[in-house]
Structure 1
Amino acid sequence: MNSPVIQDFSYDPFDPAVMADPLSYYRVLRDEHPVYYVPKWDVYALSRFADIWDVLARNDGTFVASEGTLPSSAVLGVHNTGPVSDPPLHPMPFHANFDSPLYEDVRRCTSGPLRPKPVTSLTDRIRRLANERLDELLPRGRFDLTQDYGGIVAATIVCELCGLPTELAADVLAAVNAGSQAQPGSGVEVANARPGYLDYLRPVVERRRAGTGDPVAIVDGLLNYRLPDGSGLSDVEAAVQMLGVFIGGTETVPKIVAHGLWELHRHRDQLAAVRADLDANVSVAREEMIRFCAPAQWFARTVRRPFTIHDTTMQPGQRLITLLGSAGRDGREYDDPDAFVWNRPIERLLAFGRGQHFCLGVHLARLEITIMVTEWLKRVPDFQVDPAAAERPPSSFQWGWSSIPVEV
C-alpha cells in the first residue's frame, strides 16, 4: 500500500464541520487531493467527476458494497486485513451488500413497477396528487415546501408501490426523515431498519404470503424469489429488500423539488424563462435541479481487488467513498459549476449514481420532479421563501434542505 502523505488540509466525511458546509472541502479535494486518504477509517475519497464516473462503471468485482453503501464509523473503525466476503444468506441484509449476481437478481424483484412504462402510467396519478396538495396548501398562505408539498406527494406514491394505505403517507415521511437526520458518523445501516421502518413493511409481506390483500408487485416478486441455496426470503428479509424503495422514494425528490424552486425564485430571469414554456422547459430545468440540489453527498464501496488511480493503489479490504456531491460541482465537467443555470447543457450526471448501483427509482424521480415543479409554476404566480427559517439539519451523508418555508 502507498504511504499516504499527511497534509495541512484535513477531510473526514464524519466531521460535522464538513457535513455542515461540504462544498469548500470539495474544492480543495478536487484541486489538490483527487485521491485523499483518511487513515482513521482506512478510506480513500474520490472527488473528481471523471474519476467517479469511471470507478462506478466497474462491475467486475473490484469494488463491492458488502460493508454497506453508507457504513457507520463503527464499521469503518475496524480496519480489514484483506478482501471482505459477501454476508451470509440468512439472515439476509439489504441486497445491495451482495456482489453479482445475487444483487441484480434481488434488485429485479423490486424493479418491475419502476421501469419506464409502468412509471409513465403514473403520470395522471402524480399530477392529481400534486394538485390535491396545492388545493389544501395554497389557502393556508404559509407552509413547508419540502415536507407539506413534495414530501406528501412522494410518500403517497411510495405507499402505493409498497402496498400501504395512503393515509400513512405523513407517518412514512416522518419516519424516513427521522432516519436520515442522523449525526455525522452514525451511518445509514438499512439492515437495522431504523427507526421502525419494518413496522410498516413487514405486515404487507405477511398479508401477501397469506394470499390476502391486493397484489403488490414488489412484495410478490420477493416472495417468489429463491436464493442460490434454494431457500426463500423470510417476511423480515423480504421487508428489508423493500427499504430502497421505501427510503429512497420518500426523501430525495421532495428536497430537489423544494430547493430547485427556491433556486428559480432566487433567479427571477430564469424563473421567467422556464415559465415561458413549461412543457418544454421544466424537463430541462429538472436536470439542473438534480445536479445542483441532490442531497446525497457520498456512497462507499469496499475494495476487493487491487486498484490503482492517480498513482495510488488501494488494497483489498480498504474502503473507497465516491463524493457525488463534489462530482456535481466539478468545473472539469461543468462550466461555472457553483452557479444555478436552468438550461445548462448536461451530458453526464452522477446524482443518481452509475453502474451496478444506479438508482432504481430514477424514472419515477424524474417524473415526480417534472410534474411537481410544473403544477407549482402553473398555479403559484408568486411566492416568497423564508430563508431564515429554512433548515438543513445534521446528517451522516446528506446536505439537503429538509424544510423550506414559503408564503404564497
Structure 2
Amino acid sequence: MSNASPVYWDPFDRDIARDPYPVYRRMRAEAPLYYNDRHDFYALTHWDDINGGLVDWATFSSSRGPILEVIKANIEIPPGTLLMEDPPIHDIHRRLLARVFTPRRVSSLEQEIRDFCVRCLDRLAGVDQFDLMAEFANEVPMRVIGMLLGIPEADQLTVRERADAKLRTEPGQQMKVSAGALMDTDLFASYIDWRADHPADDLMTELINAEFEDETGTRRTLTREEILTYVTVLAGAGNETTARLIGWLVALLDRYPDQRADLVADPSLIPNTIEETLRFEPTGHAIARYVARDVELYGQTVPAGSAMMLLVASANRDERRWDDGERFDIRRKIDQHVTFGIGTHYCLGAALARLEGRIALDEILRRFPKWAVDWDNAALSSTSTMRGWETLPISVD
C-alpha cells in the first residue's frame, strides 16, 4: 500500500513535531534526499549520510551556523562561536575550551551536582503532584553551568531565562535571527570585569588567564569580546538541552514502567538508560549545515549555497543501523549515537550532560520509584531547534 501524497517535513510545523518519527520513516524510505521547496532546504535522514555529513565539514560547513534560520539570515558570526566555525579557526578555539573543560573538571562537579539535586528534590517531600520541568529539570543544568562559570546563584535564573527565550518561537513560525539576539553578551560583561579583579577556581577565570597561539601564530590571551562570546555560548548551550534530557528520562520511564522497575532494582542500568534516551529521544532533531560546494547525492546535485538539514533523530532510529530502532530498550547495546554529533563538532559538554542525567535520574528513582505523567496537561516546547517538554506534570506516590 503506497502513500497517496508525497512525504512532507517542515521543522516549523508543530503538528509534525508532536510525533515526527512516522514522517522520518517515510523520508528514509521514499526521499532519502528530501527537498522542501516552501523553505528551500534539503534534508538527509539515513545513518550513513548523517555520519558522513557531520564529518565532511568542507562540504557541509558550520560557518553560517547550525540552525536553518541562522543560515538563511546570512548574518556575520562573532569569532569564537564554536558552533559556527570550521577548521582551522574552529580547532584553535576548541582546543582552548577543551583545556578548561577537562574530564577532571567535569568529574569534580559530581558531588556538587548531587548535593544540588538532593536539595532540589528534598524540598518536594510530601508533595504528591508537581511540574518536573519547573521544579527540577530546568534548575539542574542552570546551577551546573553556574558552578562551571562561577556565576553567582542569584544571577543564574536570569542567564537561563534569557538563553531559553532566544530559542522560543511562535507555533509554526521561524526563530527571529540577528547577531545581537544570538549573542546576548551584555548579560556577562560586568561580571567578567568583576571576575578579572576577583579571580577564583572557575572556568571564567581560566578563560581570562588562558594563553594560546591564534590563527596568525601570535601567542596571546583572549580579548574581552572573545571571552564574552565563549561564556555566552557555554551558558546557553548546556541549559536547554540537558533540561530536556531529564524531561525525556522521566516521560519515557512513565511510558515503560517495567523498565523503570528494572532501574529501581538495578541502578547500574542508569548509564545505559541515559544513552538509550539520548538515542531514542534526542533533544535536538536536526543539525543544519551550509553546503559549501556542489555535492552529488542519490543521483541529484545539491548546489553550493544550499541549506542542508541533517536529521540526527532519524539516523538514531534508522532500521539500517539499529535492530528494532523504534523500540525503547534500556539494555540495548549502544556503541554510538549521533545526538552529540561526531567529528569536528562533537559536543564538548557531552560528558557533563551525561553526568547530570545520571545523577538526576538516580536521585529521582531513590525518592520516587513510581510516578504518573499527567499527559493531558503536559506540553512540548515551541522551538524549531529543540524537542522536549515545556511542562511535564507528574503525580508521585
TM-score, with structure 2 as normaliser: 0.88
- Correspondence for 1:326 among 310, 314, 331: 314
Tell me how far apart the structure 1 counterparts of residues 15 and 60 of structure 2 sit (CA, whole Å): 28
Query: Is 1:353 matched with 2:350?
Result: no
Q: Which residue of 2 aligns with 1:172?
A: 159
Could you tell which deviates more after superposition, 108-117 or 369-378?
A: 108-117
Q: 1:394 to 1:406 in 2, by over 3 A?
A: same
* 1:52 to partner: Cα distance: 0.3
Tell me how far apart the structure 2 counterparts of residues 185 and 227 of structure 1 sit (CA, whole Å): 39
Q: Deviations over 1:304-353 (max 9, x none)?
A: 23322322332322221101122222222223322221112222201111
Query: Is 1:274 matched with 2:263?
Result: yes
Q: 1:218 to 1:358 in 2, by over 3 A?
A: farther
Give the letter aligned to residue 127 of structure 2: R
Q: CA RMSD in A?
A: 2.7
Give the letter aligned to residue 232 of structure 2: L
Query: Is 1:32 matched with 2:30?
Result: yes
Conservation of the 8 A alpha-carbon contact between 2:264 and 2:369: no
Tell me how far apart the structure 1 counterparts of residues 223 and 179 of structure 2 sit (CA, whole Å): 14
Where do 5+ consecutive residues of structure 2 fail to align?
A: none
Q: Deviations over 1:197-223 (max 9, x none)?
A: 424322232234x43342533454366
* 1:11 to partner: Cα distance: 2.7
Give the letter aligned to residue 58 of structure 1: D
- Correspondence for 2:305 among 294, 317, 323: 317
Secondary structure class of the residue paired with 1:139? coil
* 1:232 to partner: Cα distance: 6.7
Q: Which residue of 1 aligns with 2:60?
A: 63
Q: Which residue of 1 aligns with 2:233?
A: 244
Tell me how far apart the structure 2 counterparts of residues 186 and 318 of structure 1 sit (CA, whole Å): 18
Q: Which residue of 2 aligns with 1:211?
A: 197
Q: 1:325 to 1:192 in 2, by over 3 A?
A: farther
- Correspondence for 1:49 among 47, 50, 66: 47
Q: 1:290 to 1:328 in 2, by over 3 A?
A: same
Q: Which residue of 2 aligns with 1:148?
A: 135
Conservation of the 8 A alpha-carbon contact between 2:92 and 2:215: no
Tell me how far apart the structure 2 counterparts of residues 98 and 286 of structure 1 sit (CA, whole Å): 29
Could you tell which deviates more after superposition, 390-399 or 222-231?
A: 222-231
Conservation of the 8 A alpha-carbon contact between 1:71 and 1:188: no
* 1:144 to partner: Cα distance: 1.8
- Correspondence for 2:17 among 16, 19, 26: 19
TM-score, with structure 1 as normaliser: 0.86
Conservation of the 8 A alpha-carbon contact between 1:106 and 1:225: no
Secondary structure class of the residue paired with 1:308? strand
Tell me how far apart the structure 2 counterparts of residues 111 and 219 of structure 1 sit (CA, whole Å): 15
Tell me how far apart the structure 2 counterparts of residues 398 and 76 of structure 1 sit (CA, whole Å): 18
Query: Is 1:259 matched with 2:245?
Result: no
Q: Which residue of 2 aligns with 1:76?
A: 72
Q: Deviations over 1:99-143 (max 9, x none)?
A: 211112112222334332221111111111111111112333322
Q: 1:93 to 1:43 in 2, by over 3 A?
A: farther
Secondary structure class of the residue paired with 1:55? helix
Give the letter aligned to residue 357 of structure 2: I
Count of aligned pairs between the two proteins: 388
Structure 1 or 2: more strand by fraction: 2
